[in-house]
């Protein structure tokens, strides 16, 4: 019988098996960075997810606390991955140009450390760049580890993406909504804990939201049935495709965009406050109104929105609040944006605390 203490570290095959059991894209990327850090025995690794249309990128950084024991480096508990939107650093731009020109990883000696920038390709384009430092130049064995891991896991990642996307628009599908909203609700609750005097350091470290909030908005195409009736379902699908295209252009890469069903869409995004959320949503509403759709010409949308708070964090509550605001927009002229919180404050909606029901005026 094998003693677990003598079993040694998990093999590359075991790590691949572990990674390919994950069904959450964000968790998958987190686990991939952690796995690479452990296999390469490095204490920090970053992933720059590039945009094809701007100089911005999404940076995810994984760090591992290291302890010394008898002159041997050992790994302690891993920190959370921190994600933020940044301007692509000049050093990463230079590395990207090198990779695009040579089709090889960028390896540069800096002081007594080697900076390694390793590409992740998708459809023959660089999708992301991995960046880490080594005390030595990248060996053939280490390159084989990285190449093997990325090749297999990113084929799996493509399948994972496909299972979570709406086949017509390419946005996230409704099946993924509840998992995402539950994850965000958990973050909101943790944020509330971390702001309290007795919130522990781990909670504060995991929560990088500061004073920002999440906003959820339901977007509904006005009179979509009449578009299908007048122009046919093919043109109706064209409207859905073009609207989703404008959504992707208007919102950030890390914002969650869903096709919720039929002509209804949902967006969840991070904002400093309701005023900034309203600006982003109003800007999108205006862009759709100004967009010229083939044959149909003008299409408008109604938007109902709410902030996700620790007091209303269940998926049914959040979507219900936004839906009430959308109902108000639809019944008061369409082509407009309303926030649940503003309607509540103005008295257009009255929430009965004892029953949770809502009256409209």
Domain boundary among 164, 197, 223: 164
Print the domain residue range for 43.
Answer: 4-164
CA distance 68 to 135: 17
| Same-domain pairing of 46 and 75 | yes
Q: Indicate which CATH number applies to the domain containing 90.
A: 3.30.450.40
Residue 296 lies in a domain: yes
CA distance 130 to 146: 10
CA distance 141 to 139: 5
Active-site entry in 178, 201, 263, 351:
263
> Is 142 tagged catalytic?
no
| Same-domain pairing of 258 and 333 | yes
Residue 234 lies in a domain: yes
Q: Which residue has the tokens 């406050």?
A: 273
Residue 134 lies in a domain: yes
- CA-based nearest residue to 304, from 320, 286, 290, 288: 320
- Which DSSP state fits 137? P
Cα-trace Rg, the chain: 24
Domain boundary among 164, 189, 215: 164
110-114 contacts, C-beta under 8 A, 24 or more apart? 114/138
CA distance 181 to 309: 12
Going residue by residue through the chain (361 aa), what tens digit of pLDDT does each one get?
A: 444 444 444 566 666 656 556 555 666 777 788 888 888 888 899 999 887 767 888 888 888 754 444 444 444 444 445 567 788 999 999 999 999 999 889 999 998 999 999 998 877 788 889 999 999 988 888 888 888 888 777 767 666 666 778 889 989 888 888 778 877 876 665 554 344 444 443 343 333 444 568 999 999 999 999 999 999 999 999 999 999 999 988 998 778 999 998 999 999 998 999 999 999 999 999 999 999 999 999 999 999 999 997 666 678 889 999 999 999 999 999 999 999 999 999 999 887 654 444 444 4
Q: Contact, 111 vs 133, CB < 8 A?
A: no
List of residues 6+ apart from 360 with CB closer than 8 A: 324, 327, 328, 348, 349
Q: End-to-end alpha-carbon separation of the chain, Å?
A: 73
Q: Contact, 49 vs 127, CB < 8 A?
A: yes
Q: Which two structure tokens, joined as six digits, stand for 290?
A: 């100004």
**Number of domains comprising the chain:** 2
pTM for this model (two decimals): 0.63
């Amino acid at each position: 019988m094998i003693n677990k203490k003598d079993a040694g570290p998990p093999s590359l095959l075991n790590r691949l098996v572990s990674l390919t059991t994950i069904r959450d894209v964000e968790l998958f990327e987190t686990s991939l960075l952690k796995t690479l850090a452990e296999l390469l025995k490095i204490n920090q690794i970053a992933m720059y997810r590039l945009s094809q249309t701007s100089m911005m990128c999404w940076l995810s950084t994984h760090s591992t606390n290291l302890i010394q024991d008898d002159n041997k480096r050992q790994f302690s508990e891993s920190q959370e991955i921190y994600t933020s939107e940044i301007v692509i650093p000049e050093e990463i731009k230079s590395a990207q140009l090198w990779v695009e020109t040579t089709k090889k990883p960028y390896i540069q000696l800096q002081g007594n450390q080697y900076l390694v920038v390793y590409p992740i390709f998708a459809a023959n384009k660089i999708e992301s760049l991995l960046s880490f430092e080594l005390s030595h130049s990248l060996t053939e064995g280490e390159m084989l580890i990285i190449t093997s891991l990325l090749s297999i896991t990113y084929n799996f990642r493509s399948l994972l993406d496909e299972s979570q996307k709406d086949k017509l628009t390419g946005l996230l599908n409704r099946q993924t909504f509840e998992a995402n909203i539950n994850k965000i609700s958990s973050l909101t609750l943790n944020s509330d804990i971390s702001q309290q005097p007795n919130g522990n350091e781990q909670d504060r470290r995991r929560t990088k939201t500061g004073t920002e909030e999440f906003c959820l908005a339901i977007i509904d195409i006005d009179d979509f049935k009449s578009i299908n009736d007048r122009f046919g379902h093919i043109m109706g699908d064209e409207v859905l495709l073009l609207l989703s295209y404008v959504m992707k252009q208007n919102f950030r890469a890390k914002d969650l965009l869903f096709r919720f069903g039929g002509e209804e869409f949902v967006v969840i995004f991070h904002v400093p406050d309701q005023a900034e959320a309203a600006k982003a949503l109003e800007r999108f509403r205006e862009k759709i109104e100004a967009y010229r759709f083939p044959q149909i010409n003008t299409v408008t949308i109604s938007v109902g929105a709410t902030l996700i708070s620790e007091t209303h964090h269940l998926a049914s509550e959040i979507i219900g609040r936004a839906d009430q605001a959308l109902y108000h927009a639809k019944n008061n002229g369409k082509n407009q944006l309303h926030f649940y919180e503003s309607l509540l404050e103005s008295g257009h909606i009255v929430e009965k605390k004892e029953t949770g029901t809502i009256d409209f005026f």
